[in-house]
Amino acid sequence: MPHQPIFEQVEGPVLVSACLLGIRCRYDGRSRTRRWILKLPHIIPVPVCPEQLGGLPTPRPAAHLVGGDGRAVARGRATVSTASGEDVTRCFLSGAGYACKIARILGVRYAILKEGSPSCGTHRVWVRNESQEGLGVTAAMLLRLGICLMNEDGLMI
């Protein structure tokens, strides 16, 4: 487990990117397991994969943001696309909406999210083929709810 004091402050039900909890929900059908999250003493991890919740299959084509980060997508000023040009914005927004609904039902105050994802990224995302500072679509919508976001390395926003 990374020695990040921030994780000691986290308590209660915590929304966690499902791929970080060993669920094989990534676009390539794999996970990015961080077992230590399950060992945090004061949390109830709630696994959520917004892309699956939005109706996308697993595995699925990788997607990237177009025209801005997740905040811009949530405002209708940017989109999400696969490499072949399929517009999957609606699925990303739908999944983000469900993640927010789950957070509200459970009274979630914290989320630990997978960095770099067009849904879950908290500090960096791929806009076309460039890694840029920004938020994924779900991260942006959770932040609007006032949820404290951090990535798997404890970087907080």
Q: Which residues bind ligand SF4 (CB under 6 A)?
A: 17-19, 25-26, 49-51, 114, 117, 119-120
- Pair of tokens at residue 125: 């995302």
Q: Which is nearer to ligand SF4, 5 or 149 (CB)?
A: 149
* Distances, alpha carbon 151 to alpha carbons 2, 37, 85, 121, 156, in Å: 12, 11, 28, 8, 7
Q: Which is nearer to ligand SF4, 8 or 43 (CB)?
A: 43
Task: Report the nearest approach of ligand SF4 to the CB of residue 18 (Å).
Answer: 5
Query: Which position has the token pair 């299959």?
Result: 57
48: enclosing H helix or E strand: strand 43-48
- Pair of tokens at residue 130: 């460039």
Q: Which is nearer to ligand SF4, 5 or 72 (CB)?
A: 72
Query: Which position has the token pair 């979630």?
Result: 108
Task: Report the nearest approach of ligand SF4 to the CB of residue 101 (Å).
Answer: 16
Task: Report the nearest approach of ligand SF4 to the CB of residue 106 (Å).
Answer: 17
Task: Report the nearest approach of ligand SF4 to the CB of residue 148 (Å).
Answer: 17
